[in-house]
Amino acid sequence: MTDFGFKLSKSSAVELDKVDTTLFERLCEASPDARICMNCGSCGATCTAGPYSGMSLRKVLLGLQRGQDVRPLLSGCMLCGKCTMVCPRGINTRNLILNLCRIYD
Amino acid sequence: MIDRVASGFHPFVIPFVAGMVFVLGYCFIGIFRILLQLPAEDRKRFFISLVTPKTILKNIRDIFCDCLFHVKLWKRNRLLGYMHSSIAFGWFMLIVLGHIEVILFLPHRIRLFYYPIFFNFFVAEADSTIQGSLLFFLMDFFLLIILSGIALAMYKRIRSRIFGMRRTARPSLMNRIGLYSLWAIFPLRLLAESFTAHISGGSFLTIPANWVFRQFLGNDLNLLPTWWAYSIVLDVFMVVLPFSRYMHIPAEMMLIPLRNAGIRVRNARKGFAKVQVLSCPNCGVCIDACPMSVDKANIKDCTVYLTRQLRRKNERRIEEISDKCLLCGKCEAVCQVGVEGPALRIQLRSERKYALSPDYSCIPDPPPAESAGEGKVLYYAGCMSRLVPSVGRSVESVFRKAGIAYEWIDRDGGVCCGRPMYLAGRLEEAEAIVRKNEAQILGYGVGTLVVSCPICYKMFKEKYDLPGIRIVHYIDYMQELLDAGRLKASRSDLCYVYHDPCELGRGMGIYEEPRRLLGRIAAITESPKNRNESICCGGSLGSLTLSFAKREKMTRAALENLYDGKADAIATACPLCLATFSRYADRPVRDIAEIVDAQTVGTITKTEAI
Ligand code: SF4
Ligand code: SF4
Ligand code: SF4
Ligand code: SF4
């Protein structure tokens, strides 16, 4: 390919029709709360693992709905439970993370 | 006393003998299996403890105090204590006295083990002796004691409140059969001995009863049916014993030596845990104690139901019960038997398999030791302090005022202590966090580590390997600073009620130190439920499934206990309690660190380490 000195970046559009959300659906069965997240990001702001693995439950939930691999984020979680205490929707985030770790394949 | 039955046998003893053989056989096989299930190291420890004079004495003392006299129950509620010890000790005495009678009067029969039980049937009174009438008197006396206990037990079924219990566990079918047969044993014994009293002799209960019966049931035909009935209910009781809560009678005698040998729960289904589960008599004391029970829906998740479901092997319920609990440890603190509800649950949680395991390689290793830390104090605020930054700030301010050279390891965020992971039953993952943290802390090269969160404190003390580092909670550290005169305290004009955090109080046994420190700078009052009966704030990380909304009720109930007429504010020493209470409390909630900071001034200008 000729080098024009610039290149097009890969499209970051998410084609929702093609995304595989089975994992998210399975998570919702175990933790129906997953659906009521309003993406406020409070969980990410307090996250102990955030500075290390980039963990933020908001990103994990969004990622799952977009069919992305969220394992690198999730693997840093220390289950410290602060996200549960700050979640304005009262989601039991800690249990949700445990459920997710249980069903992840 | 002379033998009345020449052969020394009558068919009515058969049910009793069969029941006895069954129950003894069952228990021996059980003991054998439990010993096999113990890890080899624990088994060795157990056998050694059985020949160590100190533990032998302790075992005997504990068996008498716990199994026969129910000392712990007496302390809880005298009526409840009387009810249990009258039946247990009374029955024990009947058996002992029965043996004495046989040894004294019919020594050639001592090999027949049903003789002491049915003594009155097999003898005829030839002459009355002082010994004989004393023994008969004692027999009637203890029978009366037991009967009074049984009467109380019946009354308790109807009204449990007078025993200081609001709720009791619902008995299952086997438990009910066991219960009713136990209730029937002693009235039937009284009847049988009364019908026989004109032959065998008796005392203040049996002789008058015999006289009354003879007025309208004038012949000896009633004698045999009552002895048969007595033997049959004994048989029923012994046959259902292994399948009912009455298994606690033999199990507790095994539990006490195992516990005194220093054995701990390592597997929730086998060995030591199994003995604990069998030792639970379903007394239900843990129901009222449990902070979750403010919500009726949670009553079936208390420890009494955990032991029941573990016996029934109902896996679905076992999982629910083990996940819901706050692991506050209160059930264990009030349990007279010593069932470790929290430890059992953590082990049950650890049985679970996860497809995804955390990977902490993203946490960088500490930079090479700068030796800057030497002679300094390292402060670990814990990750919770990010939600209540005032605690960390206060500790830091106290350090500054006292002129302490310190480093704050997690000022800008750090690694969790690992206890929340441990409580969730992911033991290896918790271990990984611990190792990461150890490396970070050792990197500073300090001699003292001050922590402000009791959850971290317990984890550091129990699971960390930090050679050469003294781990202290700020409660002790600030006390030392005051003692050393590095801080000068003035008294606050507020009156505080102190809330014992679960992990600091029941978890680490620290009850007096916070009161002493707080007492130096403010007036304190006590709440009705305090020290080892303090009520969990409801924020505990122990529970996996309790939702935010459900916890509110528990927090409010815990606050209700702290609302004392005199107290202007609530003091605690845990950032999690602080955050949880602050949400709903009608008066200020303060961490002791904040109060100390507000009430002290420094006396030292030069910064140095101590
Ligand atoms: S529990 Fe996990 S996701 Fe939540 S704040 Fe702690 S480390 Fe972050
Ligand atoms: S705090 Fe709760 S609502 Fe907000 S993004 Fe996180 S999970 Fe969603
Ligand atoms: S666990 Fe302890 S307090 Fe609870 S019912 Fe059993 S013996 Fe009683
Ligand atoms: S540990 Fe606390 S919450 Fe759990 S069952 Fe015992 S008393 Fe209830």
pLDDT in tens, B390-399: 999 999 999 9
Q: Among all residues of chain A, which has the CA nearest to that of B359?
A: A75
pLDDT tens per residue, range A67-85: 889 999 999 999 999 999 9
pLDDT tens per residue, range B551-580: 999 999 999 999 977 899 999 999 999 999
Q: How far is B160 from chain A (nearest CA, A)?
A: 36
When pLDDT is averaged across residues B422-426 and rounded to a whole number, the result is 96
When pLDDT is averaged across residues B60-64 and rounded to a whole number, the result is 95
Whether the pLDDT of residue B444 is over 60: the answer is yes
Whether the pLDDT of residue B478 is over 80: the answer is yes
- Unique residue bearing structure tokens 């509110």: B552
Chain A segment 70-99 residues within 8 A of B by beta carbon are 71, 74-82, 84-87, 90-92, 94-95, 98
A93 lines ligand 1 (CB under 6 A): yes
Q: Are B268 and B351 in contact (CB under 8 A)?
A: yes
CA distance B525 to B474: 22
Question: Please, what is the Cα angle at A101 between A97 and A102, to 5 degrees?
Answer: 115
Dihedral of alpha carbons B533, B539, B544, B548, sign: positive
B279-to-B2, B71, B276, B345 alpha-carbon distances in Å? 42, 16, 5, 17
Using an 8 Å CB-CB cutoff, list chain A residues near B415. Answer: 48, 78
pLDDT score, position B517: 96
pLDDT score, position B579: 95
Report the range out of A10-24, B113-127, B295-309, B368-382 with the highest average pLDDT: B295-309
- Unique residue bearing structure tokens 């971290």: B456
pLDDT score, position A1: 62
Q: How confident is the model at residue A56 (pLDDT cuts 50, 70, 90)?
A: very high
- Unique residue bearing structure tokens 């409580």: B423
Using an 8 Å CB-CB cutoff, list chain A residues near B433. Answer: 78
pLDDT score, position B369: 58
Q: Are residues A101 and B354, on separate chains, in Cβ contact within 8 Å?
A: yes
H or E segment and range at residue A50: helix A50-53
Lowest mean pLDDT among B322-331, B416-425, B540-549, B600-609: B600-609
In 3-state terms chain A splits into helix, strand, coil percentages (rounded to 5) of 50, 0, 50
Percent above pLDDT 90 for chain B: 78
- Unique residue bearing structure tokens 């660190």: B593
- Type of residue at B11: P
Helices B427-442, B454-463: inter-axial angle, 10-degree rounding? 90
When pLDDT is averaged across residues B324-330 and rounded to a whole number, the result is 96
Q: How confident is the model at residue A105 (pLDDT cuts 50, 70, 90)?
A: confident
Whether the pLDDT of residue B412 is over 90: the answer is no
pLDDT score, position B222: 80
* Selection from B506, B566, B495 nearest residue B530 by Cα: B506
Question: Under CATH, which number does the domain B489-601 receive?
Answer: 3.40.50
Closest Cβ opposite residue B547 in set A76, A82, A90: A90
H or E segment and range at residue B408: strand B406-408
Whether the pLDDT of residue B171 is over 60: the answer is yes
Dihedral of alpha carbons B272, B274, B277, B281, sign: negative
Using an 8 Å CB-CB cutoff, list chain B residues near A78. Answer: 358, 360, 383, 415-416, 418, 420-421, 433
Q: How confident is the model at residue B606 (pLDDT cuts 50, 70, 90)?
A: low
Closest Cβ opposite residue A77 in set B358, B384, B549: B358
The residues with which B448 forms a beta bridge, in sequence order, are B377, B470
Q: What is the 3-state secondary structure (H, E, C) of B490-546?
A: CCCCCEEEECCCCCCCCCCCCCHHHHHHHHHHCEEECCCCCHHHCCCCCCCCCCCCC
Whether the pLDDT of residue B160 is over 80: the answer is no
Most distant pair of Cα atoms in chain A: their distance:
54
The residues with which B608 forms a beta bridge, in sequence order, are B404
pLDDT tens per residue, range B98-125: 999 999 999 998 889 899 999 999 998 8
Atom of ligand 2 nearest to the CA of A83: 1
When pLDDT is averaged across residues B287-305 and rounded to a whole number, the result is 94
B367-to-B372, B374, B441, B445, B596 alpha-carbon distances in Å? 12, 15, 11, 12, 34
Q: Where are the alpha helices (DSSP H) in B351-453?
A: 389-402, 419-423, 427-442
When pLDDT is averaged across residues A31-59 and rounded to a whole number, the result is 94
Take atom 5 of ligand 4 and give the residue whose Cα is closest.
B302
Most distant pair of Cα atoms in chain B: their distance:
101
H or E segment and range at residue B3: strand B2-3
Dihedral of alpha carbons B210, B213, B218, B223, sign: negative
The residues with which B589 forms a beta bridge, in sequence order, are B570
Select from B339, B340, B533 the residue to mutate for testing ligand 3; criterion: most ligand atoms less than 8 Å from CB.
B339
Question: Under CATH, which number does the domain B251-350 receive?
Answer: 1.10.1060
Q: Are residues B413 and A46, on separate chains, in Cβ contact within 8 Å?
A: no
Q: Which residues contact B250 (CB under 8 A, 6 or more apart)?
A: B23, B27, B30
- Please name the fold of domain B377-482: Rossmann fold (3.40.50)
pLDDT score, position B360: 92
Q: Are A28 and A34 in contact (CB under 8 A)?
A: yes
CA distance B267 to B255: 15
- Unique residue bearing structure tokens 């992305």: A68
Percent above pLDDT 70 for chain B: 98
CA distance B591 to B392: 10
pLDDT score, position B608: 60
pLDDT tens per residue, range B257-268: 999 999 999 999
- Type of residue at B228: W
- Type of residue at B329: G
Q: Are B136 and B194 in contact (CB under 8 A)?
A: no
Select from A91, A92, A94 the residue to mutate for testing ligand 2; criterion: most ligand atoms less than 8 Å from CB.
A91
When pLDDT is averaged across residues A9-18 and rounded to a whole number, the result is 80
When pLDDT is averaged across residues B312-326 and rounded to a whole number, the result is 96
pLDDT score, position B609: 53
pLDDT score, position B165: 76
Whether the pLDDT of residue B459 is over 90: the answer is yes
ipTM of the complex: 0.91
The tokens for B532 are: 């080892």
When pLDDT is averaged across residues B508-524 and rounded to a whole number, the result is 96
Q: Are residues B355 and A80, on separate chains, in Cβ contact within 8 Å?
A: no
Pairing status of strand B495-498 against strand B523-525: parallel
pLDDT score, position B87: 95
The tokens for B354 are: 């996860």
Average pLDDT, chain B: 92
> Phi, psi at residue B147, to the nearest 5°?
-60, -35
Using an 8 Å CB-CB cutoff, list chain B residues near A77. Answer: 358
Lowest mean pLDDT among B121-125, B313-317, B600-604: B600-604
Helices (H) and strands (E) in chain A — how many of each? 7, 0
CA distance B282 to B226: 31
When pLDDT is averaged across residues B497-510 and rounded to a whole number, the result is 96
pLDDT score, position B413: 82
pLDDT tens per residue, range B32-53: 999 999 999 999 999 999 999 9
Pairing status of strand B569-572 against strand B589-591: parallel
The tokens for B49 are: 């403890």
Whether the pLDDT of residue B373 is over 90: the answer is no
Q: Are residues A92 and B383, on separate chains, in Cβ contact within 8 Å?
A: no
Q: Which ranges in chain B are annotated with CATH 1.10.1060?
A: 251-350
The residues with which B408 forms a beta bridge, in sequence order, are B379
CA distance B318 to B332: 18
H or E segment and range at residue B380: strand B377-380
Whether the pLDDT of residue B371 is over 60: the answer is no
The tokens for B375 are: 């002679």
Whether the pLDDT of residue B226 is over 90: the answer is yes
Whether the pLDDT of residue B310 is over 70: the answer is yes
Q: Higher confidence at residue B610 or residue B583? A: B583
Quick check: helix, strand or coil at residue B37? helix
Q: Are residues A78 and B547, on separate chains, in Cβ contact within 8 Å?
A: no
Q: How confident is the model at residue B443 (pLDDT cuts 50, 70, 90)?
A: confident
pLDDT score, position B549: 86
- Unique residue bearing structure tokens 């107290």: B567
CA within 13 Å, CB half, B260 = 23
CA quadruple B73, B75, B80, B86: dihedral, nearest 10: 70
Whether the pLDDT of residue B73 is over 60: the answer is yes
Q: Which residues contact B259 (CB under 8 A, 6 or more apart)?
A: B338
pLDDT score, position B36: 95
Burial track B301-326 (b if 16+ CB lie within 10 A, e otherwise): bbbbbbbbbbbeeeeebbbbbbbbbb
Q: How far is A48 from chain B (nearest CA, A)?
A: 7
